[in-house]
Amino acid sequence: MTSSAGLRLGTRNSPLARWQSDWVASQLGERGVDVELIPITTRGDVVSGPLGSVGGQGLFTKKIQQALLDGQVDLAVHSLKDLPTDDVPGLVLAAVPPRAGMLDAYVSNQWGELDQLPDGAVVGTGSLRRRTQLLRLRPDLDIREIRGNVDTRLKKLDAGEFDAILLAEAGLVRLGLAARITQRLAPEVMLPAVGQGALGLETRADDVAVRELLAPLDHAETRAAVTAERQMLAALRGGCLAPVGAWGRVADAVLSLDGVVLNEDGQERVFASHSAPPEKAAGLGQRVAEDLLSQGAADLISSVRSSTQNRDAAEGS
């Protein structure tokens, strides 16, 4: 593959996915590389119901990865928080661009801060991680499932179905909706998802030409941070949908990683934080995971899985 031939970029067709792919295409275009966007509908785009009950892992990525392996596209742009940590033989994460805002955003039309929500207020989130951390802070809240793209969720809020919703800061900013953010939730309040706010540019491992074209988009500090986060999640065997939060960041040439695991109602919580040189990112992720596991993280994750399976079975009976 050469720059004159152009690249075929596989992308989901949601507004946010298209924004992300358009951004990558523009970055490559500035470097003289023509890019054609190839829309791909994933299973996550068509299923309904909570993600954990419909297969969860890889719902938004597997079909695009298969298109890569089949040679239908030359590269894919993923939201790293949606990309499973298991390696896919034949594929490689060729670049991780600079991370956008990685915080969770509280959005409400009536209540200016999370602490101001009245008892019993209805809060929408599709994330078990957000749900459990929110319940730990505010067990009095009525937290309900919400699905759909960013615009759909905002419309449900505006229609009065919810008193507040939780979304990723990065998605709102990228879609030009930063003004809708009522409050950015600090990591001390809610640790973000593994890879939240970061993009992953994936291609075939043997496609050296494309890997070279993507190399300038790689950001060393962001890659170190998400490598640590993803290794932590992999070692926990938590999966993308587990109640696991992480925050990796580089400051003064030191990589730090915080990790948290909670049970379903948020009342049981284990936390760990360690630091290392950025080049030791994977080892740092492993160390934080081992600390969490020593505190009982595996039992918390297992209890959530069992509860989810039992609830799904009851709803299906």
The whole-number average pLDDT for the span 185-192 is: 96
Q: How confident is the model at residue 306 (pLDDT cuts 50, 70, 90)?
A: confident
**pLDDT surpasses 50 at 258:** yes
Q: Which range, 4-8, 43-47, 122-126, is most confident?
A: 122-126
Superfamily the domain 104-185 falls into:
Periplasmic binding protein-like II (3.40.190.10)
Judged against a pLDDT cut of 80, whether residue 43 lies above it is answered with: no
Tokens 């596209």 belong to residue: 73
What pLDDT shows up at residue 178?
Answer: 97
Architecture of domain 220-317: 2-Layer Sandwich (3.30)
CB 182 within 8 A of CB 112: yes
Q: Is 142 among the catalytic positions? A: no
Once rounded to an integer, what is the mean pLDDT over residues 247-259? Answer: 98
**Do 1-97+198-218 and 104-185 come out as alike in CATH topology?**
yes
Range in 47-51, 109-113, 283-287 the model is least confident about: 47-51
Q: Which of 22, 45, 74, 82 is catalytic?
A: 82
- For the beta carbon of residue 24, count every other beta carbon within 10 angstroms: 24
Q: Report whether CATH 3.40.190.10 matches the domain 1-97+198-218.
A: yes
Q: Write down the pLDDT at residue 242.
A: 82
Instruction: Determine the Cα angle at 308 with ends 305 and 312, to 5°.
Output: 140
Instruction: Give the domain ranges of the chain.
Output: 1-97+198-218, 104-185, 220-317
pTM of structure: 0.90
Mean pLDDT for all residues in the chain: 91
Cβ-based burial of 118 (10 A; exposed 0-12, middle 13-18, buried ≥19): exposed
* CA atoms of 223 and 98, how far apart (whole Å): 8
- Beta strands 164-168 and 35-39 are unpaired
- The tens digit of pLDDT for each residue in 199-225 reads 999 999 999 999 999 999 999 999 999
| pLDDT at 116 (0 to 100) | 97
Residue 238: the pLDDT is: 75
